[in-house]
Chain A
Amino acid sequence: MFTASTLLQLTIDGITRGAMYGLMAAGLALIFGIVRVINMAHGELFMLGAYVMYFATAALGLPAPVGIVLASAMMFVVGVAMERSLIAPLRVRLGDRWLVDGYVLTIGIMVVLQNLALIVFGPRERGLASLWPGRIEIGDIVISNERLVILAGAIAAMAALGLFLSKSSLGRAIRATAEHPDAAQVMGIDTGRIYAFTFGIGSALAGAVGALLLSIYPAYPTVGGDILLKAFVVVIMGGLGRVGGAMLAGPLLGIIEAYATAFAPGGWQNTITSLLVLAVLVLRPQGLFSRQVTRP
């Protein structure tokens, strides 16, 4: 009953969905890998990005690509402000032992942002009908234009992030700061600014995903919770703090979910995801795509 084209259809759907998980997780991994914060408020940056997109397109009538750029730019600013005003002072005071404190702090930020959104925007879901109507049919396989745009956006964002980190001098400084913050300072790098900038980039990614997905996930104050959970699963699969791993693990999780939805009884999808996390943690805690470089 499952033909080759059904499998292909599921795979394509899974990759599209997973590309978004990957992008969310890449931001989370970037922030964890460099700033050493488990950012529990990452889903709220997604939520705010979705609201920006809604108001830009539905209220102001701006074109969708402008809305996406606006959402990421505004979340970049929010991320930098969050790091500078709340996270940096905590790091300075606590030195190395601040992982738990950063975690608790971002839970606080999460609650505050959710409630602020509730006060300002209300509990109502604000969504859009399809931004890019229409679909492409190849034989039995159907891909909506919406999903194609989402996939293209995700690939473009990942490629840009990958190139930025691997080729630019700022990207190199970010990687150096992640590996040896003290040595980075000795090179003349202002690591405080690197942390703020990195937090901004991670936040911008979350905002972009929120904007891209608005026609699928309408904006409401607690919309970020579900996608944050998926992003954490992807981060663990890809290896804690590994941006490249997250980008690969995202589509993988998407495919697994798509197959689970099709082949397993309803409700099993989240169980399978959880088992997957357990399996990775027990069998390959460094992540599925990790490569270790040791310091002799």
Chain B
Amino acid sequence: MKLAVNDIQAGYGAGADVLHGVSLTIENNAAIGLIGANGAGKSTLLKVICGFLEPRGGNISIADWQHADLKPHQLAERGIGYLMEGHSVFPSLTVEENLLLGTWSFRHDRQRVKAQIEKAYAASPILTEKRDVRAGLLSGGQQRLLELERLALIEPSLIVLDEPSLGLAPKLVREVFDRIASLRRSGSTILVVDQSARQICAVCDFVYVMRLGRIHMSGPAAEFGSRIEEVVREFI
């Protein structure tokens, strides 16, 4: 689905603004990358989009509805999948229970629940072996895969990812981005924040660079790809 962010200002508590009027647009089924130094406001922007932080100004429209006043769980019901910063598995619940929670919005449709969970196991077979293991005992990479499969269960129309590769070994980083690419092929629109600028350019069509709470520059990923090192060195 299409996402339009218009002139968003936001901050925490009584603190100063972290975002000073951020605008960006994502067309349906596009994949957008967002890069920037620590403190540029990337995570804050994602929190606003996913309903965890109320903006002080500006507005967001998603598909044909306005985002204002919707709570995170209502946005999830409307098909927004959010991979939060840091780990977000339920550690003392098993892998299977974590996946079942991902089907909460259609839990009464047992057949669909069963089919979707089978799909998740097929996409990440390692989780099949670990289905009865407590999620907190999985390795960091396995937890990340579980988080991705869990958010894919609702077949989200928009997937918002906050640093999916953080703390993962290079091989796993590729695996995670491959999974993100496959989620896009199955119809999801993607917005991803990551430190791995090279992977972002490989998966995304368009890249925004944020700096100090503003969009600093933007352009097609193909153009960025060739001079990404330079951009990273200069601005990040």
Contact = CB atoms under 8 A, between A and B. Distances in A.
Interface of A: 169, 172-173, 175-176, 179-180, 182-191, 293-296
Given A169-B107, A172-B100, A293-B134, A182 B88 contact: yes
Interface stretch (B21-29, B55-63, B72-80): B72-80
Q: 7 closest Cβ contacts across the A-B interface?
A: A188-B76, A185-B72, A183-B88, A188-B105, A293-B136, A293-B92, A179-B90
15 contacts: A173-B101, A175-B93, A182-B52, A185-B72, A185-B73, A186-B72, A186-B151, A187-B105, A188-B73, A189-B73, A189-B101, A190-B73, A293-B134, A294-B136, A296-B139
A222 B147 CA distance: 49
- Chain A CB count within 10 A is highest, among B76, B102, B139, for B76
Nearest to B102: A187
B104 A189 contact: yes
Given A182-B88, A294-B136, A296-B139, 18 more contacts: A169-B107, A176-B90, A179-B91, A180-B90, A183-B90, A184-B90, A185-B72, A185-B76, A186-B72, A186-B82, A187-B73, A187-B76, A187-B104, A188-B73, A188-B76, A190-B73, A293-B137, A296-B143
A182 B75 CA distance: 13
A112 B90 CA distance: 38
Residues of B in contact with A, size category: 20 to 34
B137 to A, nearest CB: 7
- Chain A CB count within 10 A is highest, among B50, B134, B136, for B136
A175 B104 contact: no
B136 A295 contact: yes
Contacts of A169: 100, 104, 107
Nearest to B105: A188
B201 interface: no
B103 to A, nearest CB: 9
B205 to A, nearest CB: 25
Contact of A172 (B93, B105, B140, B154): B93
Nearest to B77: A188
B64 to A, nearest CB: 21
B174 interface: no
A131 B21 CA distance: 70
A294 B105 contact: no
A296 B52 CA distance: 24
A169 B97 CA distance: 9
A205 B134 CA distance: 29
A180 B93 CA distance: 11
Given A172-B97, A175-B92, A182-B84, A296 B136 contact: yes
A97 B154 CA distance: 33
Nearest to A192: B71
Contacts of B154: 188
A186 B158 CA distance: 13
B71 A180 contact: no
A175 B52 CA distance: 21
A186 B77 CA distance: 9
Nearest to A291: B92
B101 A172 contact: yes
B216 interface: no
A172 B134 CA distance: 14
B50 A186 contact: yes
B87 interface: yes
B10 to A, nearest CB: 16
A161 B52 CA distance: 32
A29 to B, nearest CB: 15
B155 to A, nearest CB: 13
A80 to B, nearest CB: 19
Given A179-B90, A294-B91, A295-B91, A184 B136 contact: no
Interface string B126-151: 00000000101101100100000011
- Chain A CB count within 10 A is highest, among B73, B77, B97, B100, for B73
Contacts of A179: 90-93
Given A293-B136, A293-B137, A296-B139, A175 B76 contact: no
B90 A186 contact: no
